C-alpha cells in the first residue's frame, strides 16, 4: 500500500508558514506600535517646545507691563531726577517685594545711563557695579527695550527685560527686571505630565559659578559627572543608563531629531530635547523631556499577547480542521486504493480466465464445427455424432464457466441486506442445507463453540461455510471414516474460524493457488473451480484472510479464515 | 531407444477435445510420428522421468518434441517447461507451448523459462493441420 502522506505534505508546510507568518506579523506589529510611540514622543517634544516658548513669552509680557509702569511713574521720575535715595527706596522696596511674591520677579535694577547700578530695590544694601550683560548692552546701543535669556553668575538661566528710561527726550537711565526660569520648568512638567532634566553646557559657565549656584539653588548634578554638560535640575530621581551614555558620549545627538528609548527599572522611557538659546542665540542650556510610556507599552504588550493568543487559537483550530480533513481524505484514498488493488487483481484474473478458460471451449466448438461441416459432406455418420458430442460438452463447459463468473462477480458488499447473526446459527443453517450430501457420504461433523455475532450479508457467511464443507466432502479421498470439525480459536488479536477434515490434504506448493479462480488441482473432478475463489472474495470483503494448513497428501487439511470486518465489538476475542 | 525413423512427440493437454484435435491434425498430414498424449503436467513429468504409470521405458520413449498446454491442473505447463529446461538430460529436447492464451504475460513467462516456441491455438481444423505440419517440419 502506498502511503499518500497528505498530512505531511499539507500540514507541515502550513504549520511552518503559519509560524513564520505569526512571527513576522508580531515583529511588524511591535515595530509599528513602537514607531507610533516614538512619533507620539516627537509630538510631545514639539508641543513642549511651543509650550515653553509661550510660557516664556507670557513672562516677557509680565516683565514688560511692570517695566512700562515703572518708566511712566512720575513720582519715580521725580525722585530719580534728584537721585533721592530715600524717596526712591520708599517707592521701590514695597514694589520689589510685591514683584517677588506675586510675580517671581526677583531682579530689579535702577541703572544710570552709563550702566552703573544706582539701586537694587530687592537688595538695597548692595550698591554700585556696572552691568555688562548682552541685554543691557543691546538696550543701550539700540535705545529700545530688549529682553532675553542669559546665564547668570550663579549658573542659572535668567529672563531679563531691560528698557531705556526717558523723560521727554532725555535719557534718564535704564530699568531692568529679571526672573529665574526654574519655575517655568516646574509648570511645564506638571502640565505635560513628563519628567524634565535641565542641563547646561559647560563651555558657557565656570565651575565656581555652578558651585555657587548649587549652594543657592540646590542643583542636582555634579560638575564632574559629564564631560560637556552639567545637570541643573531634574524631576526624575534617577537617570536611565541610556541617558547617562547619551550625556557622556553622544550628546550631539541631542540636537538632531533623534529620540531615545530606554527601559529603566521596568519603566519604558522615551526622551526628547528642547533647546534653550540665550539672547545671543547660543545653545547654552537644554531641556530633556522624559516621557514615561510604560502604561502604553504594557497595553501594547497586553494587546499583542491577546492578539497572538487569539491568532494562535484560530490558526491552531484551522490546522486541526485541516488535520482531520486530510486524515479523512487519506483514509478514503487508502480505502479507494485498496479497493482498486482488489479490483485490479480481479480484472487481471478475469483477463486470464477469458484468455484461457473461456477461449479453450471456443477453440473446440469452432474446430469441431468445421470438422462437422466436412463430415456432413462426406456423410460420415459416426464422426458426425462424435463432433457433436465435443461441441455439446464444450458449450456446457462454457455455460458452467459463465454462470460461475457471474456468481463470483455478483458478490459485493450490500449493506442494505446486512444482518447480525451468530456464527453458530450460520453453521447450523449450512449443515441443514448440506445434510443430504453429508449423509450420502457418511461424513461425521462436529462443531465447537461459535458464539461470535457476525454482521453482514447472511448469504455471504453461509457461502463461506457451505463451500468449505462441500470442499471437504468432495476431497475426502478414500477416507473410510470422513470427519469434519468446525470451530474457532483465538490467535493473538484475531478470532480464527476453521474447517478441518481428514481427507486428501493438499501439497504445500498449492496452498496459494487453490484460492484462484478456476484452479482445480485434480483433473477430472467435477465443480466449476469457483468455490474457494468465492470464499476468498467474501472473506476479503470483511477485511479477513484465508489460508490452508495441511500436513500433505492424505493427511487432511484445515481451512482457516478471519472476518474482522464482520465481528461485532466485544466478540473480537472469544 | 528411439527409432531412427519414427519421431516421438509428447503432448500434455488437459482438454480431451483439444487432445483429439491435435491427434487428428497430426494424423492428417504428418506421417511417421508417434504421439504420446498425457492429461496434465504431472503426467508429463511422470512420463519424462518414467514414474508410476509410465515406468515402462519401452513404451515411454524419449520424445523428440514436447508440446505443452499452459493451463493445466496439478502441475502447469510452465512448471513442466522449467523442470525440463533445468534438467541436463532433458534440456536438449525442444519444447513448444501450445495454448489458447496470447497474453504477453504468458509469452514472457514462457520465454523466461527457455521455451523453444510459442503457438496460440487456432479455431479452425485446417489451420491446426497446417500448424502441425509446420511444427514437425521445424523441429523434427
Q: How sure is the predictor about B82, in pLDDT bands with cuts at 50, 70 and 90?
A: very high
B21 in contact with A at a CB cutoff of 8 Å? yes
Considering CB atoms only, which of A363, A368, A374 is closest to B100? Answer: A363
Whole-prediction pTM:
0.54
- Average pLDDT across chain A, whole number: 85
Terminal CA-CA length for chain A: 30
Residue A521 has pLDDT above 70, yes or no: no
Residues 6+ apart with CB under 8 A from A156: A180, A181, A182, A213, A217, A232
Phi, psi angle pair for A136, to nearest 5°: -65, -45
Region A533-553 average pLDDT: 86
Which of A355, A371, A393 lies at the smallest CB-CB distance from B100? Answer: A355
Query: Which residues of chain B make contact with A351, given a CB cutoff of 8 A?
Result: 103
d(CA B71, CA A49): 106
CB A166 within 8 A of CB A174: no
Closest CA relative to residue A131, chosen from A95, A173, A169, A172: A173
Average confidence (pLDDT) over A450-467: 87
Measure Cα distances from A301 to A27, A28, A269, A310 in Å.
12, 13, 15, 14
Q: Which of A182, A184, A177 is nearest to A66 (CA)?
A: A177
- Structure-model confidence comparison of residues A518 and A446, the more confident one: A446
Q: What is the pLDDT of residue A553?
A: 74
Over 70: is that where the pLDDT of A527 sits?
A: no
Chain A residues in contact with chain B using a Cβ-Cβ cutoff of 8 Å: 351-352, 355-357, 359-364, 366-368, 370-371, 374, 390, 393-394, 519-524
Give the model's pLDDT for residue A254: 47
Q: Do A359 and B101 touch (CB under 8 A)?
A: yes
Nine cell digits for residue A18: 503559519
A355 to B103: CB separation less than 8 angstroms, yes or no: yes
Question: Does the pLDDT of residue A257 top 80, yes or no?
Answer: no
First to last CA, chain B: 16
The percentage of chain A sitting over the pLDDT mark of 90, rounded to a whole number, equals 24
Q: Would the pLDDT of A572 be above 90?
A: no
Residue carrying C-alpha cell 476453521:
A498
pLDDT at residue B2 is higher than 70? no
How near does any CA of chain B get to the CA of A390, in Å?
Answer: 6
B103 in reach of chain A (CB within 8 A): yes
| Across A504-527, average pLDDT | 67
- H or E element, residue A190: helix A182-192
Please report the pLDDT score of residue A475 as a whole number: 85
Name chain B contacts of A512, Cβ cutoff 8 Å.
Answer: none
The pLDDT of residue A200 is above 70? yes
> Which residue in A has a C-alpha nearest to residue B71's C-alpha?
A356
Beta strands, E only, A374-465: 419-422, 444-447, 453-456
Q: What is the Cα–Cα distance from A523 to B58, expressed in whole angstroms?
A: 26
- Which residues in chain B are closer than 8 Å to A355, comparing Cβ atoms? 100-103, 106
How many whole angstroms separate alpha carbon A565 and alpha carbon A425?
Answer: 18
pLDDT at position A416, please? 64
Q: Given this model, what pLDDT does residue A519 score?
A: 63
Report CA dihedral (A275, A279, A281, A283) to the nearest 10 degrees: -40
Please give the Cα distance from A396 to B139 (Å, whole number): 36
A49-to-A155, A159, A185, A273, A396 alpha-carbon distances in Å: 22, 17, 11, 9, 114
Say if CB A422 and CB A453 are below 8 A apart: yes
Sort out which chain B residues have CB atoms less than 8 A from A509's CB and list them. none
CA distance B22 to A181: 132
pLDDT at residue A499, as a whole number? 93
CA pair distance A553, A477, nearest whole angstrom: 10
Q: What is the pLDDT of residues B104-126, one digit of tens each?
A: 989 999 999 999 999 999 988 88
- Say yes or no to pLDDT of A2 above 50: no
Q: Which chain B residues are Cβ-neighbours of A359 within 8 angstroms?
A: 100-101, 121
B103, A368: Cβ pair inside 8 Å?
no
Lowest mean pLDDT among A104-118, A234-248, A434-448, B27-41: A234-248
CA A530 to chain centre: 60
A492: left (phi over 0), alpha (psi -120 to 50) or beta: left
CA angle centred on A259, ends A256 and A262, rounded to 5°: 145
pLDDT band at residue B1 under the 50/70/90 scheme: very low
Which residues of chain A neighbour B100 with C-beta distances below 8 Å? 355-356, 359-360, 362-363
CB contacts, 8 Å: B99 with chain A: 356
Q: pLDDT by residue (tens digit) across A145-184?
A: 999 998 887 888 899 999 999 988 889 999 999 998 888 8
| The pLDDT of residue B57 is above 90 | no
Contact A366 B124 (CB under 8 A): yes
Measured between CA atoms, how close is A508 to chain B, in angstroms?
Answer: 12
Mean pLDDT for the stretch of residues A334-344 = 85
What are A50-67's pLDDT values in tens digits?
888 899 999 999 999 999
Report the distance separating Cα A546 and Cα A560, nearest Å: 6
pLDDT at A574: 45
Count chain A–chain B contacts defined by CB atoms under 8 A.
70
| Distance in Å, alpha carbon of A543 to nearest chain B alpha carbon | 29
Residues A106, A150: Cα–Cα separation, whole Å: 14
Q: How confident is the model at residue B5 (pLDDT cuts 50, 70, 90)?
A: low
In chain B, residues with a C-beta closer than 8 Å to the C-beta of A368 are 17, 21, 125
* DSSP H stretches of helix in A207-293: 207-217, 241-248
Query: Would you call B125 and A352 a contact, using CB atoms and an 8 Å cutoff?
Result: no
Distance between CA A46 and CA A56 in Å, rounded? 15
Alpha-carbon A234 to chain mean position: 45
ipTM: 0.86
Q: What's the pLDDT at A529?
A: 67
DSSP symbols for chain B: ---SS-EEEEEE-S-HHHHHHHHHHHHHH--SEEEEEESSHHHHHHHHTT-GGG--TTTSPPPSEEEE-SS-SSS-HHHHHHHHHH-TTTTTS-EEEEES---HHHHHHHHHTT-SEEEE--SSHHHHHHHHHHHHHHH-
Question: CA triplet A228, A232, A235: central angle to 5 degrees?
Answer: 125
Nearest chain B residue to A355, by CA: B101
B13, B15, B17: which to substitute to probe chain A, counting the most A Cβ within 10 Å?
A: B17
B17 touches chain A (CB under 8 A): yes
- What residue in B sits closest to A365 (Cα-Cα)? B123
Parallel/antiparallel/unpaired status of strands A444-447 and A483-491 = parallel
The answer on pLDDT for B95 being more than 90 is: yes
Residue (of A549, A475, A548, A550) closest to A515 by Cα position: A548
Amino acid at each position: 500500500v502506498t502511503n499518500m502522506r497528505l498530512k505531511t505534505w499539507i500540514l507541515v508546510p502550513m504549520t511552518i508558514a503559519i509560524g513564520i507568518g505569526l512571527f513576522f506579523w508580531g515583529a511588524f506589529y511591535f515595530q509599528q506600535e513602537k514607531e507610533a510611540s516614538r512619533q507620539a514622543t516627537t509630538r510631545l517634544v514639539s508641543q513642549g517646545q511651543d509650550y515653553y516658548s509661550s510660557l516664556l513669552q507670557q513672562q516677557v509680557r509680565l516683565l514688560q507691563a511692570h517695566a512700562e509702569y515703572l518708566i511712566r511713574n512720575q513720582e519715580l521720575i521725580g525722585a530719580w531726577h534728584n537721585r533721592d535715595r530715600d524717596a526712591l527706596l520708599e517707592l521701590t522696596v514695597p514694589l520689589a517685594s510685591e514683584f517677588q511674591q506675586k510675580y517671581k520677579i526677583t531682579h530689579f535694577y535702577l541703572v544710570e545711563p552709563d550702566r552703573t547700578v544706582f539701586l537694587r530695590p530687592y537688595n538695597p544694601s548692595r550698591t554700585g557695579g556696572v552691568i555688562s550683560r548682552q541685554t543691557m548692552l543691546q538696550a543701550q546701543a539700540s535705545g529700545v527695550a530688549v529682553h532675553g535669556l542669559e546665564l547668570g553668575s550663579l549658573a542659572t538661566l535668567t529672563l531679563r527685560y531691560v528698557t531705556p528710561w526717558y523723560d521727554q527726550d532725555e535719557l534718564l537711565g535704564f530699568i531692568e527686571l529679571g526672573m529665574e526660569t526654574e519655575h517655568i520648568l516646574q509648570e511645564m512638567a506638571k502640565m505635560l505630565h513628563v519628567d524634565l532634566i535641565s542641563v547646561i553646557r559647560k563651555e558657557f559657565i565656570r565651575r565656581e559659578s555652578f558651585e555657587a549656584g548649587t549652594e543657592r539653588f540646590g542643583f542636582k548634578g555634579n560638575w564632574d559627572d559629564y564631560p560637556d554638560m552639567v545637570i541643573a535640575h531634574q524631576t526624575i530621581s534617577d537617570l536611565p543608563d541610556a541617558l547617562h551614555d547619551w550625556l557622556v558620549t553622544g550628546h550631539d545627538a541631542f540636537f538632531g531629531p533623534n529620540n531615545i528609548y530606554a527601559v529603566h527599572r521596568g519603566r519604558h522611557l522615551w526622551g526628547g530635547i528642547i533647546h534653550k538659546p540665550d539672547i545671543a542665540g547660543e545653545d547654552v542650556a537644554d531641556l530633556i523631556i522624559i516621557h514615561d510610556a510604560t502604561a502604553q507599552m504594557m497595553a501594547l504588550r497586553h494587546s499583542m499577547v491577546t492578539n497572538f493568543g487569539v491568532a494562535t487559537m484560530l490558526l491552531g483550530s484551522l490546522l486541526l480542521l485541516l488535520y482531520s480533513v486530510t486524515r479523512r481524505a487519506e483514509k478514503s484514498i487508502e480505502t479507494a486504493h485498496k479497493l482498486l488493488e482488489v479490483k485490479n487483481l480481479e480484472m487481471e484474473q478475469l483477463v486470464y480466465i477469458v484468455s484461457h478458460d473461456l477461449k479453450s471451449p471456443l477453440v473446440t466448438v469452432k474446430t469441431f464445427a468445421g470438422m462437422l461441416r466436412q463430415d456432413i459432406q462426406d456423410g460420415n455418420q459416426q464422426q458426425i455424432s462424435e463432433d457433436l458430442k465435443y461441441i455439446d460438452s464444450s458449450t456446457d463447459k462454457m455455460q458452467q464457466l459463465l454462470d460461475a463468473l457471474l456468481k463470483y462477480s455478483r458478490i459485493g458488499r450490500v449493506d442494505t441486506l446486512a444482518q447480525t447473526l451468530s456464527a453458530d446459527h450460520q453453521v447450523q443453517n449450512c449443515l441443514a442445507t448440506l445434510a443430504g450430501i453429508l449423509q450420502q457420504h457418511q461424513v461425521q461433523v462436529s462443531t465447537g463453540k461459535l458464539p461470535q455475532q457476525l454482521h453482514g450479508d447472511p448469504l455471504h457467511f453461509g457461502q463461506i461455510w457451505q463451500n468449505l464443507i462441500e470442499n471437504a466432502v468432495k476431497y475426502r479421498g478414500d477416507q473410510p471414516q470422513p470427519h469434519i470439525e468446525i470451530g474457532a480459536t483465538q490467535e493473538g488479536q484475531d478470532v480464527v474460524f476453521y474447517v478441518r477434515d481428514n481427507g486428501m490434504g493438499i501439497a504445500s506448493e498449492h496452498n496459494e493457488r487453490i484460492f484462484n479462480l478456476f484452479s482445480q488441482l485434480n483433473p477430472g473432478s467435477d465443480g466449476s473451480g469457483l468455490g474457494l475463489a468465492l470464499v476468498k472474495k467474501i472473506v476479503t470483503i470483511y477485511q479477513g484472510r484465508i489460508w490452508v494448513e495441511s500436513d500433505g497428501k492424505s493427511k487432511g487439511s484445515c481451512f482457516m479464515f478471519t472476518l474482522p470486518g464482520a465481528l461485532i465489538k466485544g466478540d473480537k476475542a472469544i | 531407444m528411439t527409432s531412427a525413423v519414427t519421431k516421438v512427440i509428447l503432448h500434455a493437454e488437459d482438454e480431451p477435445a483439444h487432445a483429439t484435435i491435435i491427434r487428428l491434425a497430426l494424423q492428417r498430414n504428418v506421417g511417421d510420428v508417434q504421439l504420446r498424449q498425457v492429461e496434465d503436467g504431472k503426467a508429463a513429468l511422470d512420463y519424462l522421468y518414467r514414474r508410476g504409470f509410465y515406468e515402462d521405458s519401452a513404451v515411454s520413449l524419449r520424445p523428440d518434441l514436447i508440446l505443452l498446454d499452459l493451463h493445466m491442473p496439478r502441475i502447469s505447463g510452465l512448471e513442466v517447461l522449467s523442470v525440463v529446461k533445468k534438467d541436463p538430460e532433458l534440456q536438449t529436447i525442444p519444447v513448444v507451448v501450445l495454448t489458447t492464451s496470447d497474453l504477453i504475460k504468458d509469452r514472457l513467462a514462457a520465454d523466461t523459462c527457455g521455451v523453444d516456441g510459442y503457438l496460440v491455438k487456432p479455431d479452425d481444423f485446417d489451420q491446426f493441420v497446417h500448424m502441425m505440419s509446420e511444427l514437425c517440419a521445424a523441429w523434427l
